[in-house]
Amino acid sequence: MIERDLYSEDHELFRDSFRRFLAEEVRPHYDAWEDQGYVDRDVWRKAGALGFLCPTMPEQFGGAGVDRLYSAVIFEEIGRTGFTGLGFGLHSDIVAPYLLAYGNDHVKAHYLPAMARGDMIGAIAMSEPAAGSDLQGIRTTAVREGDAWVLSGSKTFITNGWHCDLVIVVAKTDPKLGAKGISLFVVDAGMAGFTKGKRLKKAGLKAQDTAELFFDNVRVPERNLLGRPGEGFIYLMQELAWERMQIAILAVAVCEAALEWTIEYTRQRKAFGTEIIGFQNTRFTLAELKTEVQIARVFVDRCMALLLAGKLDAATAAMAKYSTTELQGKVTDACVQLHGGYGYMWEYPITRAWADARVQRIYGGTNEIMKEIIARTL
């Protein structure tokens, strides 16, 4: 395997600490969380106390002010362990950056320290029953009335939606202007008219709470508008490259873990008196997968280096998201096959990884949308 040079010694020390946290605070409870459909809030506060939430936020807002490689470490370790139901990534690396970049002083001071502590859980509401990757098709609206905006509509497939204490809502403030009429609002869970629907039952990510959200004439104070009216679509586009890199980072980490689990299994399992890894088909399948995963690892590490340097463009981020999630599906499916019947049993991590992998090609913009973005550069 090619030696990685992306991380410093400090990053690796952080990795060791997060690994211990997952082993001690997550592993013993994860099965129960999958059964109940959400993780306990207590683990959020423990993560916050140890500095694992919002690490890239400035110290004045409760973070550590570190670079995004620390977040990448968290994504990699979650992928390696299969604890993908934790909603830390969206909270720390999607919601918090929007608040920091576009929130006013009140928004940043009120929400970010509480998010870093794990006292408040963040979500972002984009998708609707009739609008997914096409954000211009949303129907949720916000109309200015005096010193507030009145928000009405519904959202679905919202990660952390059932747990959330705050949610960034994408709404149309001028439906006639299309993309130029979209704005972002921070809505508190306690605001009148905001209700949460039932937790949605999913094929994978079973420990991650996902819910429908409803907004019935919710009065949102002017100060909870992020940035300027009508510029929400621009803000979303500016942050999507990092969001898609998060998906790619997780995808490669899952691929690497799936290979490790499967190599170990095929060394132990016998068929016709021979270890399964002794069959040429097994070795060749694993050799092919290992080669493709190594190529993906090098590409994603290079993309992260570009991101840190402010040079990662939207098309390259789309390539990373598209290629790695397609590979994730291929790898986990092949590894399930090599596990035989046990690969279909939920107690095996490869089964969970296989079920979790499918959504990676859908959220963050479907892979069909990724191809469209890439195609524009032709």
Question: pTM of the prediction?
Answer: 0.94
> φ, ψ for residue 248 (rounded to 5)?
-65, -40
Provide the percentage of residues in the chain whose pLDDT is more than 70.
Answer: 99
Tokens 């994408």 found at:
170
Average pLDDT over residues 350-374: 95
- The pLDDT value recorded for residue 132 is 65
> How far is the C-alpha of 236 from the C-alpha of 224, rounded, in Å?
17
**Catalytic residue selected from 76, 128, 231, 243:** 243
The tens digit of pLDDT for each residue in 151-168 reads: 999 999 999 999 999 999
Q: Is 261 helix (H, G, I), strand (E, B) or coil?
A: helix
Are 239 and 189 in contact by the 8 Å Cβ rule? The answer is no
CA neighbor of 53 nearest in space, from 188, 43, 104: 43
- Annotated active-site residue 239? The verdict is no
Query: CB-based contacts of 146: which residues, under 8 Å, 6+ apart?
Result: none
How does pLDDT run across 94-129, given as a tens digit for each residue? 999 999 999 999 999 999 999 999 999 999 999 888
pLDDT in the model for residue 172: 95
Q: Which residue has the tokens 């929130």?
A: 103
CB 71 within 8 A of CB 89: yes
The per-residue pLDDT for range 243-284, each reduced to its tens digit, is 999 999 999 999 999 999 999 999 999 889 999 999 999 999
Residue 136 pLDDT exceeds 80: no
Strand partners, 195: 214
Confidence of residue 133 (pLDDT cuts 50, 70, 90): low
The per-residue pLDDT for range 196-235, each reduced to its tens digit, is 998 899 999 999 999 999 999 999 999 999 999 999 999 9
Kindly state the DSSP code that residue 128 receives in the 8-state scheme.
Answer: B
Amino acid type, 5 = D
Could you give the maximum distance between any two Cα atoms of the chain, in Å? 78
Average pLDDT in the chain: 95
E runs forming strands in 247-351: 270-271, 274-275
Closest CA to 297 of 328, 340, 262: 328
Geometric angle at alpha carbon 349, from 347 and 351, rounded to 5°: 80
Buried b (16+ CB within 10 A) or exposed e, 125-159: bbbbeebbbebeebebbbeeeeebbbbbbbbbbbb
- pLDDT, one tens digit per residue, over 185-195 is 999 999 999 99
Average pLDDT over residues 350-363: 96
Residue 217 backbone dihedrals phi, psi, to 5 degrees: 55, 50
Can you give 23-34 as a three-state secondary structure string?
Answer: HHHHHHHHHHHH
